[in-house]
Structure 1
């Protein structure tokens, strides 16, 4: 077979096979190119394609875990789901129909956003097979507003709606990295009032990766976990391509160290959201986003590796 350079041919994430048939797949990369829920900058609809493009620079072996994640599991790239730009409720209904038909119970999805509003239909799809989920949420913002501009569906509301629908268990959920100015003096305490554990960025900055990962482990327990990662959890010096950047966040090295220490949790699904390629000079955010998705793939695979 002729050699194919990394920059050539059709682009899937990490050169994974593309298929719309997820029967038999252990992990699926699924793009959700929807950004109608955004409140400031828009353009996250182009995130899935840019993440796939940046993944051309990745190699398949994970030196920290010492295995090839995509060989441990059968991993595929589903491509993107259909969306209706401008119509959140209709898009979320379409996603429920599409994902409900496509996702088998044994497949762990890794969703590529899109703005953070997509977490609601993605959680619906994952909870359909797993019941109420523990949520591990990395973000600068709480995303628990009761409404956004008077509307129920936006990138500031997904976890309020998820709680109301019984998709996530607040007693097993944790938000990490919250920071920055807010609209109202009561906003910082809103997640706590809803039952979440919160590790604000000022607190997280004083914790080692081991200590922070252990706090997450203690919170979520042994049940199914959904990890939602807003790229703005990382400082805009390392991830400028995002919709609502907040200074003072994690470095890329810190976030990799924390994620790797979550190995062994029972991950049922992941999403990576709020990446805007148009605001990403030199592809810095795209490179980080692709590496984070590679870490998610490794976290899905590591439970299948015999203890060493």
Structure 2
């Protein structure tokens, strides 16, 4: 027992001080035997060559946990929210499952992107939300992200239902003003009211456009599909100037040319946010989501979209609507973890290695 108590006095296993934003909590420290940082300027994920993939602390990509975003270029943060959903619940467990599956993602992408050699990255835990009060939760999320942006950190968010994007974008506006948006989704999420409510997972971009957060002429929606309640369901945002790409325009083709158009349309200077709903993918690829729709994008097209964002001035992004209860093999969360890595790899300042033929 004395030996156990001595081990528990290790700094790595002492209880962490709560993140003093009042809205982000620490991750549990579940193991210290495999936790280490390599020497050098930047954090690196724990390598599967040094520690079994099933070991270590369950942070995003087994990166170091940090109590707050100060000193980071990029932070991963979870929002375990699903009280804004209209169909299947369970996305509150998305961040946990994405982190667990992220252990399979390594340090350098197949095209040579090496984010951990050029950016300081860590996992800062989850937003402490109120699952009994959506409006209060939205305010808590906004306050947390205002503080993240205040220290010039780029957040990549694990969701959680799509309601969470609205308060994040409100915080973005306080830091950057009006922004551009790359929105990948099966649904336009531009509904005005859902069940009498202005805030829900189907309304974030309606609210954001109404509040002038997004420049509609610098916004694209890709992959929209599914049966609708109106024949002209996308007309509202089209009339504002939003570029709408329905899924039929994506079938049986590469999306590289589309993303060339998107980069030209948005330009390299305006701050850009990426919001990626996992239900944009076909449910045969990603079944673990709350509102699946047939005929969706492939995982290859998803990678083309995200890689096509390289060169944009990206200031944040999210991966939402992962619902583990409908993901029996973990493939949806695994895809989400890989796509978040693709998102990380196209952030400004990421180093690229030359891939030899």
TM-score (normalizing by structure 2): 0.82
C-alpha deviations, 1:196-248, integer Å up to 9, x for none?
A: 11011111225532211112112211211100000011100100000110010
Aligned counterpart, 1:248 = 295
Which of the residues 223, 226, 251 maps onto 2:273? 226
C-alpha deviations, 1:12-57, integer Å up to 9, x for none?
A: 0111111122111100101011111100001000000100000011
Which of the residues 74, 77, 81 maps onto 1:30? 77
2-structure distance, mates of 1:219, 1:262 = 12
Q: Verify: 1:86 aligned to 2:120, yes or no.
A: no
Query: Would you say the 8 A contact 1:22–1:104 is kept in 2?
Result: no
Aligned counterpart, 1:164 = 210
1:12-161 to 2 correspondences below 5 Å? 12-64=59-111, 66-161=112-207
Aligned counterpart, 1:192 = 238
Q: Verify: 1:297 aligned to 2:344, yes or no.
A: yes
C-alpha deviations, 1:261-300, integer Å up to 9, x for none?
A: 2212110110100110000021110110000111111111
2-structure distance, mates of 1:207, 1:130 = 35
Aligned counterpart, 1:288 = 335
Query: Would you say the 8 A contact 1:182–1:188 is kept in 2?
Result: no
1:277–1:208 Cα change, 3 Å: same
CA drift of 1:100 comes to 1.9
1-structure distance, mates of 2:282, 2:91 = 18
Query: Would you say the 8 A contact 1:36–1:85 is kept in 2?
Result: yes
Partner SS for 1:253: helix
Query: Would you say the 8 A contact 1:70–1:297 is kept in 2?
Result: no
C-alpha deviations, 1:123-175, integer Å up to 9, x for none?
A: 12222211111010000101001111110000110001111222111111010
Partner SS for 1:212: helix
Query: Would you say the 8 A contact 2:254–2:301 is kept in 1?
Result: no
* Equivalent residue pairs, number: 306
Partner SS for 2:330: helix
Structure richer in helix, relative to its length = 1
CA drift of 1:62 comes to 1.3
Q: List, as ranges, runs of 4+ consecutive aligned residues in structure 1 with deviation greater than 4 Å.
A: none
2-structure distance, mates of 1:220, 1:257 = 17
1-structure distance, mates of 2:64, 2:231 = 49
Gaps of 5+ in 1: none
Aligned counterpart, 2:24 = none
1-structure distance, mates of 2:94, 2:353 = 36
TM-score (normalizing by structure 1): 0.94
1:269–1:244 Cα change, 3 Å: same
The structure having more radius of gyration, on CA atoms, is 2
Partner SS for 2:75: strand
Query: Would you say the 8 A contact 2:149–2:175 is kept in 1?
Result: no
Which of the residues 263, 278, 281 maps onto 2:325? 278
